Structure 1
Amino acid sequence: MPPTPRMAWLDALRAVAVLLVLYAHASRYVLTDVRAVTAEWLHAGPAGVMLFFLVSGYIIPASLERHGNLRRFWIGRAGRLLPLYAVVTVAVVLLGFYRPADPATAAVAHATMVPFLLGEPLATPVFWTLAFEMVFYLLVTALFAVRLQRADAVMAVLLTICAVLTAPLAPNAVRTPYAALVLVAGLALVLSGRRWAVTAGGLTLGGLALTLVIAGGQPAHAWDGLLVVAVMFAGTTIYRADTGQTGWWTVAVVAPVVAAGLLANWFAELVSLDALTPRYMARSVITLLVFAGAFAVGMLTRRWRTPSWLATLGVISYSVYLTHYLLLLVMRPLLVHDALVIAYGGTVLIVSWVTHRYVELPGQRWARRMSDVWDEPGRVQQTHAPVRG
């Protein structure tokens, strides 16, 4: 499905993001000499996922407010994310790459899409980003439900301040059954469409989201878990300024605060590892500049004609992101020479096109049909805020 001109620049940014992640993972087995040099100066994986988060922050609240409907939003998210997520999870299990000690708990945790924030081993490592996406969706829902959806700049600053003051977080304190029950109850209230229930459900989901990101998770993101969400709200702040809802002064305040918080905590993590060296400090700064700079360049050049291959790669980027690591595990025994990175990359693109065509798109069509059937009772507020491309 070719991207529309309005969205092409965002699709191009998704393509850049997924290429960074793909390089970060594949270069563990091929192009290792190149990685030995670049890894000293750039965290390609974190740069890629942070760029993804910025794009999500920009576009997700816009999508919700355009419809003014929490039901349509959640049905759309389910149709967009769940089908391929389920297919990849089943494939990982069937291929023997994932054998949880407690299958029932693992299944429930993965059904919530936040297993990373429940201390459960992940079916595939790339699922960790989806957990933070879910946290963002829950917080956006909470703000929308209580009519504070334009508090994104405040949220970004508050989350950044809390991140700096509380790091490192103490993870693994949330249990799967309780979190799953709260999530189901909160969503049921929100989707009921009744004003009091929507408000109660939004507050429930918002509380769950903050609990998950503060007390859940794993040590890998004890230093920057809250900052991941702050980055997404910074993306929303950019969207509001870009559409004239607020002044660009909000971005001038929020962006430096979030950037300073990221660097402060990344440096603090280096101190904890006894690795606060000029080179690693420079790597943190470069990583920040790469993903923030890529987003800025994307915005500044969006009126230009986006290369079709780049925009198309962005369209299938979700498939690329979820399938590339599984394919890496499958093809790992074959990756004995750098030239084979071409074969691996080609396989990823072919499989991703197939999964996008036959898994993602049917899920999206299902979501549109369900939204049309189950629309009006979920409408709680209409905000006309078109996304400009």
Structure 2
Amino acid sequence: MPAEPYAPATPATDRLAWLDGLRAGAVLLVVYAHLSRVLFRGAREVSAEWLHAGTAGVMLFFLVSGYIIPASLERHGSLRTFWVSRLCRLLPLYLAVCALVVALGAAGLMPLDPVLRADPLTAAVAHVTMLPHLLGVPLITPVIWTLTFEMAFYLLVGALFAVRRHRAGSVVAAVVLAVAAVGTAPLAPKLLVATPEAAREVTLVVALVLVLGLGAVATGRRAAVVSGALLLGGVAVTLLVAGQDPAHVWDGLLIVSVMLVGTALHRADHGRIRWWQAGVVAAVVAAALLVNWIAALESMGGLTLRSATRFFVTLLVIAGAFALGRLTRHRRTPRWLARLGLISYSVYLVHYVLIELLRPVLAGLGERLPAPAEAPVVAAYLGLVIGISWLTHRFVEVPGQRFGRRAARWMTARWGSDARPVDVAGVPQPAKRDLRAIAR
């Protein structure tokens, strides 16, 4: 999952490289979870007994996003600049990968859901909103489900910022969502989008609301910004509660809570809330995750001591990785790890497409080769993924970010600044430098 890019040249940004290290670890967990279905299957049989690697990876991504994204918004003090930078950061590569998968599917080289072929307009609009997972529209490629929750988080954070409740409000929201998640689980799946016809109608309405809301935010006028941000936040809450995909009826609300835990940890790190408050928020959300995960297992008749332990270990890996990263944040992060974190968004979107394209070859090798002989194949695959991801980062992501900065400056020059002072009282001076470095 994307966050603000790492710039390796300054001491201030070196202090943030630990976050790129965490993103690197997260994306490696996700890649392992998917690749081990065709290679290293013996290792998967062992590790899967004790760890949900994919869950640990994406939750770690969510935690890092929650830590960084609100800080970026507060650094700008401008919802318009925030949205321009976010969309230009996310959309170019996301749309490029979606278009590639559609082309490969049309050529018969990759599987493509028949529903997407039956109603391409709805599919296109839903994916452009980045909310297809909550709109009842099949995903072009499975990994983009996480970006739907990222977008919902941005919508909620923007609404809190617009009404000046982004500090205490984010902490309260994390607890409220966690309690609501336990109290309402399992949510009724696809309540708003139970049929393809309903999905089409809701998709078009949501797309229109997003255009209107973002347009209002772009004006920079206080009343319009607040109204637009609240409208966007309302869409996010409605879809999270009434549009949840069946795969996340137990933990859909908790995913947003996890991101808000990251926000609480950032605030505690910079003296805006007390550490015990952040600790309470983290404990509540962690407990809610365990309760709902175990309840989901029990509902499927799969609850055993080992399966419950697996979720506990997964939670420990997520929390432990973040804690280790934070404790070592004053040490220099290995440059290769920071660089991998820098291109982690590309790796995340590219790796699964490559697995699907190469599945016949990889699966065949996985069946024929002994386990030690699979290592060179895995290394070759990883080299290919990293090489392609470096190219997509360099020639798709970076130009998109530059365009976003130019567009934000143009809007400010044309319509005036919508930035408002953000109180940073109590934030140590080095932390202020960190906040400026986040978006470099």
Deviation at 1:179, TM superposition (A): 1.4
- Which of 375, 386, 395 is matched with 1:358 structurally? 395
Native 8 Å contact 2:32 2:53 kept in 1: yes
Native 8 Å contact 1:191 1:378 kept in 2: no
Per-residue CA deviations over 1:288-319 (Å, capped at 9, x if unaligned) read 11111100110000111111110000000000
- Which of 135, 138, 141 is matched with 1:118 structurally? 135
- Which of 245, 249, 252 is matched with 1:225 structurally? 252
Question: Does 1:171 find its partner at 2:189?
Answer: yes
2:150 paired residue number:
133
2:238 paired residue number:
211
Q: Secondary structure at the match of 1:246?
A: coil
| Structure (1 or 2) with the larger CA radius of gyration | 2
Q: Which moved more, 1:121-130 or 1:180-189?
A: 180-189
Deviation at 1:384, TM superposition (A): 5.3
CA RMSD of aligned residues (A): 1.3
1:47 paired residue number:
56
2:25 paired residue number:
16
- Which of 80, 91, 94 is matched with 1:71 structurally? 80
Structure 1 CA distance for aligned equivalents of residues 320 and 204 of structure 2? 41
Native 8 Å contact 2:16 2:329 kept in 1: no
Q: Which moved more, 1:94-103 or 1:74-83?
A: 94-103
Native 8 Å contact 2:76 2:419 kept in 1: no
2:124 paired residue number:
107
2:46 paired residue number:
37
1:369 paired residue number:
406
Question: Does 1:234 find its partner at 2:261?
Answer: yes
Per-residue CA deviations over 1:70-109 (Å, capped at 9, x if unaligned) read 1110110011100000110010011113351210000000
Deviation at 1:144, TM superposition (A): 0.7
Number of residues paired by the alignment?
389
Per-residue CA deviations over 1:189-244 (Å, capped at 9, x if unaligned) read 11111111111111111110001111113111110000000000110000001011
Structure 2 CA distance for aligned equivalents of residues 251 and 384 of structure 1? 19
Counterpart residue type for residue 349 of structure 2: L
- Which of 164, 169, 193 is matched with 1:147 structurally? 164
Deviation at 1:372, TM superposition (A): 1.2
Q: Secondary structure at the match of 1:374?
A: helix
Question: Does 1:161 find its partner at 2:160?
Answer: no
- Which of 334, 341, 346 is matched with 2:383 structurally? 346
2:212 paired residue number:
185
Structure 2 CA distance for aligned equivalents of residues 372 and 243 of structure 1? 28
Structure 2 CA distance for aligned equivalents of residues 289 and 252 of structure 1? 15
Deviation at 1:283, TM superposition (A): 0.5
1:57 paired residue number:
66
Native 8 Å contact 1:69 1:382 kept in 2: no
1:382 paired residue number:
421
Counterpart residue type for residue 14 of structure 1: R
Per-residue CA deviations over 1:4-62 (Å, capped at 9, x if unaligned) read 31321000000000000000000000000000111111000010000000000000000
Native 8 Å contact 1:30 1:341 kept in 2: yes
Structure 2 CA distance for aligned equivalents of residues 14 and 201 of structure 1? 32
- Which of 37, 41, 49 is matched with 1:28 structurally? 37
Native 8 Å contact 1:43 1:287 kept in 2: yes
Q: Secondary structure at the match of 1:363?
A: helix
1:199 paired residue number:
226
1:321 paired residue number:
348
Structure 2 CA distance for aligned equivalents of residues 252 and 235 of structure 1? 11
Native 8 Å contact 1:68 1:383 kept in 2: yes
Counterpart residue type for residue 320 of structure 2: G
Structure 1 CA distance for aligned equivalents of residues 417 and 148 of structure 2? 25
Per-residue CA deviations over 1:159-188 (Å, capped at 9, x if unaligned) read 000000001111222421111111111111
Counterpart residue type for residue 407 of structure 2: M
Counterpart residue type for residue 154 of structure 1: V
Structure 1 residues without counterparts, runs of 5 or longer: none
Q: Which contiguous aligned blocks of 4+ residues in structure 1 show a shift greater than 4 angstroms?
A: none
Q: Which moved more, 1:340-349 or 1:330-339?
A: 330-339
Per-residue CA deviations over 1:338-358 (Å, capped at 9, x if unaligned) read 231111111100000000000
